[in-house]
Amino acid sequence: MAGLLTVAAWAVAAVVAAPQISAPAPPADRFVTVDGLRLHYVDWGGADKPPLVLVHGLDRVARTFDHVVPHFTSRFRVIAYDMRGHGDSGWDPQGRYLVEDHVRDLEGLVQQLGLRNITAWGNSTGGRVVQVFAGLHPDLVRAVIAEDVGPDRPRSIADNYARQVTRDANGWASEDELLAVVRKANTGIEDTVLRAWVRFGTKRRDDGRLVWKRDPNLVKGFVETDLWRFVRNIQAPIIYVLGGRSTIVGLETQDQLKNTLPRVAVMTMPGLGHYPSHERPAEFLALVDRFLQGVD
């Protein structure tokens, strides 16, 4: 990628310790209405700084980025939002949860907050959203970070999610019970991330059971997906950070990205899964810092 670092330099950056940082002030909880839905976002402030917009993955919520936010607040106005059907954002009554629907929400948020010169970071489904947004709005985007996700979603992944929603329908008796479940299913992810996920991503049902704050109809949008028509138009520098154990972005797709996008880097963190920033945040942040240093 012209103007950015070589793969060897990235490898060195991955083992650099993260700088000492202080905890930012608690974020402000705010809402905007987009497409008739009330969307919740958290804003760590700093309107005089360029925006860093964080878009979570399926089932996660805005606050699952809490563990990395302090790394950026001295340089960026950090904003994270709950995607429709998640967290404290509204549920779409028509079950509109395709990637393109989530992109329209991001467009509305950006427009209402007057954001420009955006660095956009998304993991999993959020990574698809920021890729499409960057392809549609090259004038607004400074840089893109796509975490373990490319332009394609195969049918097998979509089917697995539908089965998961069915399994979770009964809920859990307590946060501790749910934490035990998510720890078992997400080995390697830091406990601070899992605790934030459970704390901010759940609610009590009328019968007292703890359930995820998510619309079961999210399965209607978690379908086989091809976003190349948007992604091939990305002009901003973009880094794809992949987990070495993940198979979501295969070698053929990686090669196609390298041959298609003018300012792309594709990096793999060996031994990690679908959320590298949740497993090895210091190393992940070192890669991101190196990437952003090379952005014009």
CB 292, CB 119: distance < 8 Å: yes
Closest C-alpha to 27, from 4, 57, 54: 54
Provide the token pair at 295: 């952005």
Q: What letter represents residue 159's amino acid?
A: D
* Cβ-based neighbour number of residue 62 at 10 Å: 28
On the question of pLDDT at 6 being above 50, the answer is no
Residue 237 — φ and ψ, nearest 5°? Answer: -60, 135
SS3 annotation, the chain: CCCCCCHHHHHHHCCCCCCCCCCCCCCEEEEEEECCEEEEEEECCCCCCCEEEEECCCCCCHHHHCCCHHHCCCCCEEEEECCCCECCCCCCCCCCCCHHHHHHHHHHHHHHHCCCCEEEEEECHHHHHHHHHHHHCCCCEEEEEEECCCCEECHHHHHHHHHHHHHHHHCECCHHHHHHHHHHHCCCCCHHHHHHHHHHHEEECCCCCEEECECHHHHHCCCCEECHHHHCCCCCCEEEEEECCCCCCCHHHHHHHHHHCCCEEEEEECCCCCCHHHHCHHHHHHHHHHHHHCCC
Can you say how many angstroms the Cα of residue 86 is from the centroid of all Cα atoms in its chain?
13
Provide the token pair at 52: 């860093």
State the pLDDT at residue 222: 84
Distance CA 142, CA 250 (A): 26
Give me the mean pLDDT over the 182-200 stretch: 95
Quickly tell me which residue has 């393109």 as its tokens.
100
Question: Using N-to-C axis directions, what is the helix angle for 125-136 and 99-113, rounded to 10°?
Answer: 60
Distance CA 281, CA 193 (A): 10
CB 226, CB 152: distance < 8 Å: yes
Q: Please report the sign of the dihedral spanned by the C-alpha atoms of residue 288, residue 77, residue 233, residue 104.
A: positive
State the pLDDT at residue 224: 79
The model's confidence at residue 158, banded by pLDDT at 50, 70 and 90, is low
Average pLDDT for the chain? 91
- Between 20-24, 103-107, 150-154, 248-252, the lowest mean confidence (pLDDT) is in 20-24
Model confidence over 120-148: pLDDT tens digits? Answer: 999 999 999 999 999 999 999 999 999 99
The model's confidence at residue 271, banded by pLDDT at 50, 70 and 90, is very high
CB 175, CB 202: distance < 8 Å: yes
State the pLDDT at residue 22: 61
On the question of pLDDT at 270 being above 70, the answer is yes
On the question of pLDDT at 282 being above 60, the answer is yes
On the question of pLDDT at 156 being above 80, the answer is no
Instruction: State which fold the 7-154+217-293 domain adopts.
Output: Rossmann fold (3.40.50)
- Between 82-86, 164-168, 189-193, the lowest mean confidence (pLDDT) is in 164-168
Provide the token pair at 23: 């905890």
Residue 97 — φ and ψ, nearest 5°? Answer: -135, 25
On the question of pLDDT at 229 being above 80, the answer is yes
Q: Please report the sign of the dihedral spanned by the C-alpha atoms of residue 264, residue 254, residue 268, residue 226.
A: positive
Residue 75 — φ and ψ, nearest 5°? Answer: -115, -25
Provide the token pair at 7: 């793969």
Distances from the Cα of 128 to the Cαs of 58, 74, 274, 275, in angstroms? 11, 27, 14, 14
State the pLDDT at residue 16: 43
